[in-house]
Structures are given as structure tokens and as C-alpha cells.
């Protein structure tokens, strides 16, 4: 893993050596792609356009947020900002990295929550736009445009997370793949006809199960909050 982590640090160095305008872009992307935006921006917008799509965005965002936390507890995953010092790499080799206000994230880093949660929750919106495009055009380019934008967005989010030293590249790739798989798998299973009480009960169940799992892992001697 050290070789993989070192390669990730070198990749982050290459990203940070880019022009100043790219730095502003990465900071903007990583801020806008915060998973909270799924609930504060994407869900209301999707719900306004189509109720079923909106509920699907909310549902997938809720489940993927919970699953991302659980996966991080089991996969652990170092954070570049901390690893470069804790591993001793910074004292052995020349490392030219810059810190940003969003660099000092704590806790496990694998997989990337920005990539996983955003990618999963946007999936129903992208498929809805693709279906809409296919009804109005037979052009393959037009029909594939929503997924093309989706892919570019995920790539930009992933690069921005590596740029600010929040994640290693392999954690970003894992988040992107997990997000797409979750979106694809959960969209057909969206409980669109359920009452608000169902979602409240589900959210409460996910919260309590997370707390119970956290306590269990701590009890068996695994320090997931190292």
C-alpha cells in the first residue's frame, strides 16, 4: 500500500503544480460537490421537475450516505494530508504539497464520499434526462449527453478531492464505481409510493444501526476513530 500511496502523493503534486485558475476550479468543484448538496439542492430541484425522480434522488442519497460511512469503518483508508507525515515520506523525500482549508479532513478516507454519494444520487436524474432526450431526438450524441456530463462531473469531483489532499486516487476510483453501482441498483427499488413516515423510520433505523455498529467495532478492539 505504501507504493500506491506514494504514487497518489506524486499525482497530487502534479495536480497542484497546475495554473492558478485550475486551483480555483478544483476548490469550487469540491465545495459544490459536497454530499450535503444532494439534499439541499439536487433533491428539491429534481422533485420540482418530477416527483418520482426527486424521491429517488433522496432515497439513494440517504442509503449511499449511510453505506459510505459503514464502508469507511471497514476499509479504513488513509488521508493524503496526514499520511505524508505519519508515514515519514515527507522526511525522506522532497514533497511539495500545499494545504487548503478543506484539506484537514479526519477519519477513514476509503471510499470517497463526494464521489460515491454524489454519483449514486445523481444517477436517477441522469437517466431521467437521458429518457427525455431520447423522446425528442434520435441522435446518439444527444441521447448520451447526460451520461457524458455525469462522467465528466465525476472525473472533476475525483480530481478535486485528490487536489485538496482529501483522498488518494484509488479511493476516488472506488467511490466513483461504488456510486454508479448504487445508483444503477437502487433506482428501480425506490419506494416512491411510501409515506413520509416510512422515510423517517428508515432514517432512524439507519442512524441507530450505525451507532450500534460503531459501538460493536469499538468493543472488539478496532479503533475506527484513530
Any idea which residues carry the catalytic annotation? 114, 167
Pairwise CA distance, residues 116 & 177, whole Å: 7
CA-nearest of 52, 188, 180 to 122 is: 180
Q: How far apart are CA 60 and CA 165, in angstroms?
A: 27
Q: Give the integer Cα–Cα distance in Å for 54 and 44.
A: 7
The CA distance from 124 to 130, in Å, is 10
Cβ atoms 157, 98 nearer than 8 A: no
* DSSP per position, 136-154: H---HHHHHHHHHHHHHHH
Q: 78 near 109, Cβ under 8 Å?
A: yes
Residues 113, 68: contact at Cβ < 8 Å? yes
Amino acid at each position: 500500500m505504501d507504493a500506491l500511496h506514494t504514487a497518489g502523493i506524486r499525482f497530487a503534486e502534479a495536480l497542484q503544480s497546475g495554473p492558478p485558475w485550475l486551483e480555483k476550479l478544483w476548490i469550487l468543484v469540491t465545495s459544490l460537490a459536497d454530499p450535503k448538496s444532494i439534499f439541499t439542492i439536487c433533491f428539491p430541484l429534481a422533485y420540482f421537475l418530477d416527483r418520482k425522480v426527486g424521491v429517488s434522488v433522496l432515497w439513494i442519497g440517504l442509503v449511499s450516505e449511510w453505506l459510505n460511512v459503514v464502508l469507511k469503518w471497514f476499509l479504513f483508508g488513509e488521508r493524503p494530508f496526514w499520511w505524508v507525515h505519519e508515514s515519514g515520506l515527507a522526511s525522506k523525500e522532497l514533497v511539495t504539497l500545499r494545504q487548503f482549508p478543506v484539506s484537514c479532513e479526519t477519519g477513514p478516507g476509503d471510499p470517497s464520499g463526494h464521489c460515491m454519494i454524489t454519483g449514486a444520487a445523481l444517477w436517477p436524474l441522469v437517466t431521467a434526462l437521458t429518457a427525455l432526450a431520447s423522446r425528442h431526438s434520435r441522435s446518439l450524441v444527444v441521447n448520451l449527453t447526460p451520461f457524458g456530463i455525469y462522467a465528466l462531473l465525476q472525473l472533476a469531483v475525483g480530481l478535486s478531492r485528490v487536489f485538496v489532499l482529501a483522498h488518494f486516487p484509488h479511493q476516488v476510483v472506488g467511490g466513483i464505481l461504488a456510486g454508479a453501482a448504487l445508483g444503477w441498483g437502487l433506482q428501480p427499488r425506490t419506494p416512491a409510493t411510501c409515506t413520509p413516515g416510512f422515510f423517517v423510520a428508515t432514517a432512524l433505523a439507519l442512524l441507530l444501526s450505525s451507532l450500534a455498529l460503531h459501538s460493536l467495532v469499538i468493543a472488539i478492539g478496532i479503533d475506527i476513530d484513530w
